[in-house]
Amino acid sequence: MFDEIKVIQSAETSVRKLVLTKADAVAETVLYRYPTYQDRTVICCSSQSGCPVGCRFCGAGDYFVRSFSADEIVAQVDAAISESGVAASEMVKLQIMFMSMGEPLLNKNGMIGALRVLHFKYPHAALLISTIGPKIDWQWVMEISQEIPTIGLQFSIHQPTDERRNNLIPFAKKQTLAEINKIGLQWADATGRRPFFNYCAGDDNTSVADADLLAKQFSANTWNATISVICERNEGMPARNDHQVKLAADFSSLLVQRGFDVRVFDPAGQDDIGGGCGQLWFVQDWMEKNRDKARPSIGCGKPKVHVPADLARMIKQADGVE
What is the mean predicted confidence (pLDDT) over 112-137?
98
- Predicted pLDDT of residue 278: 67
Strands 25-33 and 196-201: unpaired
Tally of domains within the chain: 1
What is the mean predicted confidence (pLDDT) over 282-291?
88
Assign 203 a pLDDT band (cuts: 50, 70, 90): confident
**pTM (two decimals):** 0.91
Residue 200 neighbours by CB distance under 10 Å: 28
| Domain region containing 94 | 4-318
- Predicted pLDDT of residue 107: 98
| For residue 100, pLDDT beyond 90 | no
- Separation of alpha carbons 290 and 26, rounded Å: 10
- Separation of alpha carbons 57 and 302, rounded Å: 11
- Predicted pLDDT of residue 245: 82
Please compute, for residue 136, the number of CA atoms within 13 A of its CA located in the half-sphere on the CB side.
Answer: 15
Residue 223 and residue 194 in contact, taking contact as beta carbons nearer than 8 Å: yes
| For residue 277, pLDDT beyond 80 | no
51 or 269, which is more confident: 51
- Predicted pLDDT of residue 211: 98
Mean residue pLDDT of the chain comes to: 89
Residues in Cβ contact with 116 at an 8 Å cutoff, skipping those fewer than 6 apart: 144, 147, 148
- Predicted pLDDT of residue 98: 97
285 or 318, which is more confident: 285
Residue 208, exposed/middle/buried by CB under 10 A (0-12, 13-18, 19+)?
Answer: exposed
- Predicted pLDDT of residue 77: 98
- Separation of alpha carbons 208 and 26, rounded Å: 40
Assign 310 a pLDDT band (cuts: 50, 70, 90): very low
Angle, alpha carbons 130-276-272 (nearest 5°): 160
Residue 148, exposed/middle/buried by CB under 10 A (0-12, 13-18, 19+)?
Answer: middle
What is the mean predicted confidence (pLDDT) over 120-147?
98
Q: Is the peptide bond before 35 cis (omega within 30 degrees of 0)?
A: yes
Q: What is the DSSP string of 132-153?
A: --BSS-THHHHHHHHH-TTEEE
Buried b (16+ CB within 10 A) or exposed e, 116-142: ebbbeebeebebbbbbbbbebebeebb
Assign 311 a pLDDT band (cuts: 50, 70, 90): very low
| For residue 179, pLDDT beyond 70 | yes
Q: What is the CATH number of the domain that holds 86?
A: 3.20.20.70
Angle, alpha carbons 42-48-53 (nearest 5°): 105
Assign 217 a pLDDT band (cuts: 50, 70, 90): very high
What is the mean predicted confidence (pLDDT) over 253-273?
83
| For residue 303, pLDDT beyond 80 | no
What stretches of 160-314 adopt beta strand conformation (E)? 196-201, 224-229, 262-265, 295-296
What stretches of 23-82 adopt beta strand conformation (E)? 25-33, 40-45, 48-50, 63-67
85 or 305, which is more confident: 85
Assign 226 a pLDDT band (cuts: 50, 70, 90): very high
Percent pLDDT > 70 in the chain is 87
| For residue 154, pLDDT beyond 70 | yes
What is the mean predicted confidence (pLDDT) over 49-56?
92
| For residue 313, pLDDT beyond 50 | no
- Looking at residue 6, the DSSP 8-state letter turns out to be E
- Predicted pLDDT of residue 241: 64
- Separation of alpha carbons 210 and 227, rounded Å: 13
Assign 229 a pLDDT band (cuts: 50, 70, 90): confident
What is the mean predicted confidence (pLDDT) over 65-88?
98
| For residue 196, pLDDT beyond 50 | yes
Please choose, from the candidates 269, 175, 241, 252, the residue with its C-alpha nearest in 3D space to the C-alpha of residue 211: 252
